[in-house]
Amino acid sequence: MKRVGFFRSIQMKFLLTYVLLILFAMQVISVYFVNSLEEKFVTNFKTSLQQRIDLLEYNLGEEMLKERNDESNTLEQDIRRILKDFSAPDITEVRIVDERSRIIGTSDANNQGVVGQRMTEISIKRALSASTTEDSMLIDDRTGRRVWVLTSPILLNSEVIGAIYLIGDIETVFSQLDDINEILFSAAILALAITAILGITLARTITRPITDMRRQAVALGKGNFSRKVKVYGQDEIGELAVTFNNLTKRLQESQATTEGERRKLSSVLSHMTDGVIATDRRGRVILINEPASKMLNVSRETIISQPIVSLLNLEEDYSFDDLLNEQDSVNLDYSTHERPYILRANFSVIQKETGFVNGLITVLHDITEQEKIEIERREFVTNVSHELRTPLTTMRSYLEALADGAWQDPDIAPNFLDVTQTETERMIRLVNDLLQLSKYDSHEYNLTKKDTDFIEFFNKIIDRFEMTKSQEVTFRRKLPRYPIYVTIDQDKLTQVIDNIISNALKYSPEGGLVSFKVEEHGDTIQISVSDQGMGIPKKSLERIFERFYRVDRARSRKMGGTGLGLAIAKELIGAHDGHIWAKSVEGTGTTIFFTLPADLSEEDDWV
């Protein structure tokens, strides 16, 4: 690279700038000089008066302690004489106060009327009581001139016998300083004018290429890489312009490469099924893909720059530093009473080779169904274990009693054997129901459907229960007179209806009413069975179709139920493309509804 001459280099230009800065610095020094000069003048003024006050204090002390007779002058006359000799152009007034704050003399010939009056100034009281000397700068209300007020105690043998109150005209000092300031101000204006002229000339030389480069930088910021910086000379700024143009070319190439990679990354993130969130080193969100926005039900525009711990609702349990050190995944439970919703978050630190942390990558997986299956599995194992343990415990107790000799007792043995047989049958029913549900979970329904007159089919089942029921319960039917044809597996649907009617009879009180009803709704029929039993609490109503769920576990087991009947009914009705649900008022009764697709004929009269 060609060497740049000294007189054409930017160093020479900066040298000129430095000379101008020194000229400006001289103005600053002038200001400092004026302030120092003011402080010096004021100090000299105060010192001069203080020295005279010391002499005055000595003379006054002598006069105030001198013994007097009828022929000698009074104290006030002697003090007036001393003060008359003490007068000077820079002293406005001097007042002498005795130990009782009474004025005993003043240097102002026109203000002799104050003699004999008491002074109430705080500085006088302090001087008399604490022997303190105080001074202050004030504005004279009468003349508007600045005055210096000095209060000094008169001491004799370390005892305060009075005080001096001096008012000095310090305005003359500031008048002299104003004259000096005028001179310095005129010189500063002249220097600033010269500095401005030289600065403009110099700025035009240096700022033209810099301005051009600024425009180029603005264009680069907007993505315009076609513009080039003009080279004005061969000095350092000229070389900077050439380097800037080379940098623009490389930046254009890098931007093209980065844009290609960004598009690839954007495509990958957009087509991922998992949610991805990226943060900066302070834990604020800088990127979130569409699946993550949907999982968290947020807008990408609103959560940018928000803390990730706030976005994931982890403020109470984790800080951002905790997430950086988190090795295991974190489950985020957003479940509500209406529906479960659980996400699993895995965290990965973005880190340089030097160990500096640039941010955090969070990957979100929806594990709601997985967690539901796991919870159902655990509940299923728990319930099956509990349901089998109860009859097995009972059987073991009775068999142990029989083995201990109870079989020889003709009164007890039959009862023990009957209980053992009942519990065995209950376990067999439970196992059969579990096997049946297992087949339904595998969609092994093996339905044998055929067209059936549902009204006739339903009446036969009701008749069977009406003939065999043991308690005093009244059946009431509200069924159409005409046939309604449905395509069903009669055995499977008989199992469903048997279970529903059995439950209605179990929980109906003596003298109660069980109602049966069939209604047409479009291309479906709605079947309902109502009882007047104890009803189901509202919180349990949606769970009665879950496996092993019982509202009253003790009573259900006592009646021989397995807790799987309604779960099987739900599976079978679903296999027939129907829907089953329940309504209940606690203490009044329960109604079980289910629907079936039907080939509806013309309506006729109702029973």
Whether 498 contacts 461, CB under 8 Å = yes
CB neighbourhood size of 181 (10 A): 17
434 and 512 co-located in one domain: no
Burial (0-12, 13-18, 19+ Cβ within 10 Å), 445? middle
Listed residue (387, 593, 595) closest to 500, CA to CA:
593
Burial (0-12, 13-18, 19+ Cβ within 10 Å), 360? buried
Residue 248 lies in a domain: no
Quick one: pLDDT band at residue 554, thresholds 50, 70, 90? very low
Mean pLDDT of 85-105: 80
pLDDT of residue 127: 82
**Matching residue, tokens 């500096």:** 356
Residue 74 lies in a domain: yes
CATH of the domain at 155: 3.30.450.20
Quick one: pLDDT band at residue 606, thresholds 50, 70, 90? very low
pLDDT of residue 592: 92
Whether 485 contacts 451, CB under 8 Å = yes
424 and 490 co-located in one domain: no
Alpha helices by DSSP H, listed for 66-170, are 75-86, 122-130
349 and 455 co-located in one domain: no
Report the alpha-carbon distance of residue 426 to residue 431 in Å, rounded. 9
80 and 139 co-located in one domain: yes
319 and 354 co-located in one domain: yes
Share of the chain above pLDDT 90, in %: 8
Q: Which domain holds residue 307?
A: 280-363
Most confident of 74-78, 169-173, 426-430: 169-173
Quick one: pLDDT band at residue 555, thresholds 50, 70, 90? very low
Burial (0-12, 13-18, 19+ Cβ within 10 Å), 152? buried
pLDDT of residue 342: 86
Quick one: pLDDT band at residue 11, thresholds 50, 70, 90? very low
555 and 466 co-located in one domain: yes
Quick one: pLDDT band at residue 436, thresholds 50, 70, 90? low
H or E element that contains 262: helix 236-271
For the ranges 4-8, 69-73, 401-405, 571-575, which has the lowest average pLDDT?
Answer: 4-8
Report the alpha-carbon distance of residue 120 to residue 92 in Å, rounded. 20
pLDDT of residue 244: 77
67 and 128 co-located in one domain: yes
Whether 567 contacts 437, CB under 8 Å = yes
pLDDT of residue 519: 93
355 and 416 co-located in one domain: no
pLDDT in tens, 180-221: 888 877 877 777 667 666 666 666 666 677 777 777 777 777
Residue 195 lies in a domain: no
Residue 263 lies in a domain: no
pLDDT in tens, 233-249: 777 777 777 887 888 88
CA–centroid distance for 248 within its chain: 42
pLDDT at 138 over 50: yes
Whether 473 contacts 512, CB under 8 Å = yes
* pLDDT higher at 68 or 148: 148
Mean pLDDT of 17-45: 77
Share of the chain above pLDDT 70, in %: 82
Per-residue DSSP letter, 112: G
Residue 219 lies in a domain: no
pLDDT in tens, 320-365: 888 888 778 888 888 887 778 888 888 888 887 777 888 888 888 8
pLDDT at 593 over 80: yes
pLDDT of residue 217: 76
Instruction: Give the residue from 318, 341, 363 where a domain finishes.
Output: 363
345 and 285 co-located in one domain: yes
Mean pLDDT of 415-442: 70
Mean pLDDT of 499-513: 87
pLDDT of residue 557: 47
CB neighbour list of residue 97: distance below 8 Å, 6 or more residues apart: 103, 104, 119, 124, 128, 162, 163, 164, 165
Quick one: pLDDT band at residue 62, thresholds 50, 70, 90? confident
62 and 169 co-located in one domain: yes
**How many independent structural domains does the chain possess?**
4
Whether 349 contacts 364, CB under 8 Å = no
Instruction: Give the residue from 387, 415, 441 where a domain finishes.
Output: 441
44 and 162 co-located in one domain: yes
Residue 213 lies in a domain: no
Per-residue DSSP letter, 534: S
pLDDT of residue 530: 92
Whether 331 contacts 302, CB under 8 Å = no
Per-residue DSSP letter, 107: S
Task: For 293-323, give one letter per residue: b (16+ CB within 10 A) or e.
Answer: bebbeeeeeebeeebbbebbebeeebebeeb
pLDDT of residue 37: 83
CA 94 → CA 144, 224, 443, distances in Å? 19, 82, 118
CATH of the domain at 414: 1.10.287.130
pLDDT at 559 over 70: no
400 and 502 co-located in one domain: no
pLDDT of residue 595: 94
pLDDT at 437 over 80: no
Q: Where are the beta strands (DSSP E) in 217-356?
A: 275-279, 285-288, 330-333, 342-351
Instruction: Give the residue from 152, 176, 200 where a domain finishes.
Output: 176
Q: Classify 316 as helix, strand or coil.
A: coil
CB neighbourhood size of 501 (10 A): 22
Report the alpha-carbon distance of residue 423 to residue 95 in Å, rounded. 122
pLDDT at 3 over 60: no
CB neighbour list of residue 50: distance below 8 Å, 6 or more residues apart: 150
Residue 229 lies in a domain: no
CATH of the domain at 456: 3.30.565.10
pLDDT of residue 427: 72
Whether 360 contacts 350, CB under 8 Å = yes
Q: How many CA atoms lie within 13 A of 34 on its CB side?
A: 18
Residue 328 lies in a domain: yes
Listed residue (499, 489, 493) closest to 565, CA to CA:
499
